[in-house]
Amino acid sequence: MFADTTDHSLLNFEQRLVFRTVARGEPLMSQGEAADFFAIVLSGDATATRASSDGPVVLANLGAGDIVGELGLLLGRLRAATITAATDIEVLLGDETAFSALLDLAGVHERIGLQVSRRLAEDTKAIPIGRGAKDLVQLRPLVPGDREPIYAAANAASPQTLYRRFFTPGVPDKRVLDHLVDIDFVDHFAWVCLSEDAVGIGVARYIRDRDDPSSAECAFSVDDNWQGQGIGTLLLGSLATAALSAGIETLTGSVLAENAPMRALFKKAGARSRHSEPGVVEVELSVDAACELISVNDRLALTATVVDIVHAGGLALTGQRQ
Ligand SMILES: CC(C)(COP(=O)(O)OP(=O)(O)OC[C@H]1O[C@@H](n2cnc3c(N)ncnc32)[C@H](O)[C@@H]1OP(=O)(O)O)[C@@H](O)C(=O)NCCC(=O)NCCS
């Protein structure tokens, strides 16, 4: 978190913090409380839990260097989790002014933004969409825990699906797949589509254009057994809805000329297309028009879920992140 910070600015910042020890078993912060401070764990272990009807659910194990309590401060919400000392812990506590100073430290703004987006994404319950369609599916943002399922889906995909998605035969290199999982949610966002029994059946993503933050390239993949059943249509409408929240106006894509389903799908969203290199078609479509592929109710539900994630709780430096 502080890798880019000079000793001098770190020392200045530290003077705004209060040192505290919390004994093993005691709460550092409690779910439901007003969020008026954050904490940096200096030593020891702590656990983040959330109350549920089945008792507390462990969300994360925390240790030295972790920062907690920033979400409530940023979003002006009550604490969404309880942090309990698993061993005796030493922490530094900071108030809202200290939090602003924290964000001013070199590199910290971006890293906290990523942490906030990730925490919100991991916290998102899958949203049912496509009511009235043949199958009801659910969407949630892609999260780091999807790495293994993404590898498995790539290994299970047919040669045609892999070729149409990656333009090269065979399963892509692990580095390519890792790039598809290591997303920042602001400039690179992805929805995972789940069947009614919560099995992953498709992914849709956009990657914002570095030179034009109002434009992003999109890509889609639906499991072979689920293709041709309307999932791609729901994914394009849902991706456009997330893109709209992120301030993106245009989606672009490269499609193999022979890829009739994807070309038909883009056409349904009013895409303009032009041939580029032989066998490849470049498309460009309006985000507003693509949103129309899903119902207003679905759009409202997705937007309510995604807006803080794609803005990193208001911290996003759109188009400036790597
Ligand atoms: C392309 C893909 C994402 C589309 O998803 P999907 O769930 O199959 O799409 P849908 O069922 O919503 O169909 C979209 C449109 O494609 C057309 N379509 C569907 N199956 C088709 C087929 N076998 N042949 C021709 N057109 C077809 C239809 O016009 C359909 O719209 P409609 O049913 O309203 O008429 C999916 O087929 C896929 O993952 N393919 C392999 C990977 C890929 O090509 N990725 C795109 C790279 S950018």
Domain ranges of the chain: 7-106, 127-314
Task: Dump pLDDT digits (tens) for 180-217.
Answer: 999 999 999 999 999 988 899 999 999 999 999 999 99
The Å distance, Cα 239 to ligand 1 centre, comes to: 15
Q: Is the CB of 115 under 6 A from ligand 1?
A: no
53-57, 140-144, 289-293: least confidently modelled range: 53-57
Task: Dump pLDDT digits (tens) for 38-94.
Answer: 999 999 999 999 998 888 899 899 999 999 999 889 888 899 899 999 999 999 999
Atom of ligand 1 nearest to the CA of 160: 41
Residue 322 has a pLDDT of: 41
Q: Is the CB of 163 under 6 A from ligand 1?
A: no
**Nearest protein CA to atom 34 of ligand 1, as residue:** 230
**Nearest protein CA to atom 45 of ligand 1, as residue:** 165
pLDDT reading at 167 higher than 70: yes
* Mean pLDDT confidence for 138-162: 95
Atom of ligand 1 nearest to the CA of 162: 42
* Mean pLDDT confidence for 171-188: 94
Amino acid letter, 230: G
The Å distance, Cα 37 to ligand 1 centre, comes to: 49
pLDDT reading at 172 higher than 90: yes
Task: Dump pLDDT digits (tens) for 205-252.
Answer: 999 999 999 999 999 999 999 999 999 999 999 999 999 999 999 999
Residue 88 has a pLDDT of: 98
20-29, 41-50, 103-112: least confidently modelled range: 103-112
Residue 320 has a pLDDT of: 53
Residue 79 has a pLDDT of: 94
Out of 233, 239, 283, mutate this one to test ligand 1's pocket (max ligand atoms within 8 Å of CB): namely 233
The Å distance, Cα 263 to ligand 1 centre, comes to: 8
Tell which CATH architecture fits domain 7-106: Sandwich (2.60)
Rg, the chain, Cα only? 22
Residue 96 has a pLDDT of: 92
| pLDDT band at residue 179 under the 50/70/90 scheme | very high
| pLDDT band at residue 24 under the 50/70/90 scheme | very high
Atom of ligand 1 nearest to the CA of 255: 48
Q: Is the CB of 205 under 6 A from ligand 1?
A: no
Out of 265, 276, 293, 294, mutate this one to test ligand 1's pocket (max ligand atoms within 8 Å of CB): namely 265
CATH, range 127-314? 3.40.630.30
Per CATH, 7-106 and 127-314 having the same topology is answered no
Query: The pTM is what?
Result: 0.90
